[in-house]
A = this chain, B = another copy of it.
Amino acid sequence: MAVTDEMVCFSLYSAARATTQAYRTLLAPWGLTYPQYLVLAILWMEGEQTIGSLGDAMQLDSGTLSPLVRRLEQAGFVARARSTADERVVTVGLTDAGTALRAEVAPVHTKIAALAGMQDDDERRRLITELQELTARLQRADH
């Protein structure tokens, strides 16, 4: 038995990498990465966002999101604009090309869940909850 097989941390680290790898394969036709897909998913489901609201949803800071959104903009899928009400705020919205992706690309996360053997709603819900609780305990402790 390898050392790493005794560590929860390693099984998480490994599962997360396997997941992004599966996304890489399925998203390759559009040149999208997994975090870029997440941004698009949020825009598809919840409409226009700001850098800050994306950061809240994904738990990422502007140091990660700012260049990531710039690449999505360069790819033509989103548009950025300074808010008129508050010049500090940058809004991020879908372009027509970004909206057009939805039909073919949005279902990818369902395909991944199926590949992972997480097609059953209850079981998936249970694992999500377990991982969210684990995450919350770690974040609470990390102060």
Task: Identify the A interface with B (CB < 8 A).
Answer: 2-23, 25, 34, 38, 41-42, 45-46, 57-59, 109, 112-113, 115-118, 124, 127-128, 130-135, 137-139, 141-142
Contacts and interface: CB of A to CB of B under 8 A. Distances in A.
Nearest to A24: B142
A23 B2 contact: no
Q: How many copies of this chain does one complex carry?
A: 2
A135 B18 contact: yes
Contact of A46 (B3, B13, B45): B3
Contact of A138 (B13, B22, B46, B139): B22
A2 to B, nearest CB: 6
Contacts of A14: 59, 131-132, 135
A127 B8 contact: yes
Given A3-B57, A57-B4, A115-B137, A128 B11 contact: yes
